[in-house]
Structure 1
C-alpha cells in the first residue's frame, strides 16, 4: 500500500454490548446482537459512527453499550438487510463478512441518540417483527 493510500484508509465500526479487547476477533457463529437466537453466518460492521451507535444501543443484554473500531480479516460486502430493503445505495455504509473482524480499538467518547429517537427505532423494529419481517438475514 502506498503512503497516499494509507492516509485514506477506510475505518469500520462495530456496535455491541460485548466486552472485547484489542486483538479480539468477532466471528460468525454466534447469536445476533439483537436477540434473534439462531447463530449468524455473518459478522457486521459499518463505516459510520452513527450506524455503530444504533448497533450498540439496540443490542440485547445488560452490559454497557460499546463501539469498537474493527478491521476485516477477509472480504466484506454490502449488508443486504439494510442496503436492499431500507437504504438503497448503502448510505449507512453497512457491511457484512463471513470472515472475522479484528478489534483495533474501542471508541469511548460518543454520545448516543436521544431517548425519543431510540424509542422510535425500537417501535419500528417491533412493528417489523410483528409483521413477520426479518431484522437480520
Structure 2
C-alpha cells in the first residue's frame, strides 16, 4: 500500500498526534484506537498499533503493541515500512531491558543496527515540479526551496511514490503545468531527514535526497491529483510552519 496523507487511518493518526500536541492523551488514544478498528490491511494496522504503543500504562502492554506493529510491518515486506525497523526494534529492545530480559534486548538492538541507514529502495523514483523538462535533462542541487523561497537547497529531492511526487508538483511554485518525471539518481542518496522518523515512523513517503544530480528518464501522466480542499490545507500548513529545514 502506498502511503498517503489522504488515507482514512493516516488521517485518524494525524488527528491523534494533534491531540497529543494539545495535551489531550485520552482523546489521542480514541483516535488511534478508531484507526486500529478501521484498519483494513497490514499497513494501516502497523501504523495504528505503533501509535497505540505510545499510550500504554505498563511496559508489557507497550511491548505488546510494538510487537503487533512489527508483525504487520514484516508481513508487508516493502520499503515503505522497512525504514521504520531501526526505531521499532530499538523501542522493543528498551521494553525488554525494562522487563529484565537482556538477551532479547540485545537481539533487538542488533536487528536495529542491521536495518539502520543505507536505503535499500530500488525505485523507480519520481520528481514533481511545474518546470517543463526533457528526457536527458539533469536536475541538480542548489535551487531555491518550494516551501521557503529564500532557502537555497544543498540537495535535490525525490520519492519512490508517484502520487507523492504529484503532491510535490501541485505544491511547487510557478504557473506551469504540474509534471511528474521519472528520475535516475547518479550517485549516493539518503533518507530525507526532514521526513524520516518525524511524526510517522521511518520514511513512509519513501522520500530521499542527494547531492548528486538526478537524470530525467521519463514522465508519468496517470498519477492521482490531490483534492483541491486537501491541497489548500497542505498549503496553509506549509505557510504556517515554523520548523527548520534540515539542509
Return the TM-score normalized by structure 1: 0.84
Task: Confirm or deny that 1:20 pairs with 2:136.
Answer: no
Q: Matches of residues 1-137 of structure 1 in structure 2 within 5 Å?
A: 9-128=122-241, 132-135=242-245, 137=247
Structure (1 or 2) with the greater helix fraction: 2
Query: 2:126 touches 2:165 (CA, 8 Å); kept in 1?
Result: yes
Query: Cα 1:63–1:136, aligned 2, differ >3 Å: closer, same or farther?
Result: farther
1:63 to partner: Cα distance: 0.7
1:88 to partner: Cα distance: 2.8
State the SS of the aligned residue for 2:216.
strand
User: Highest CA radius of gyration, 1 or 2?
Assistant: 2
Distance in 1, matches of 2:222 and 2:208, equals 23
Query: 2:163 touches 2:223 (CA, 8 Å); kept in 1?
Result: no
Return the TM-score normalized by structure 2: 0.48
| Larger RCO (CA within 8 A; separation ≥ 6) | 1
Query: 1:82 touches 1:88 (CA, 8 Å); kept in 2?
Result: no
Distance in 2, matches of 1:107 and 1:136, equals 29
Runs of 4+ in 1 over 4 A off after TM superposition: none
State the SS of the aligned residue for 2:218.
strand
Structure 1 gap segments, 5+ residues each: 1-7
Structure (1 or 2) with the greater strand fraction: 1
State the SS of the aligned residue for 1:14.
strand
1:135 to partner: Cα distance: 5.0
Query: Cα 1:34–1:17, aligned 2, differ >3 Å: closer, same or farther?
Result: farther
Task: Give the root-mean-square deviation of aligned CA atoms.
Answer: 1.8
Query: 1:16 touches 1:33 (CA, 8 Å); kept in 2?
Result: no
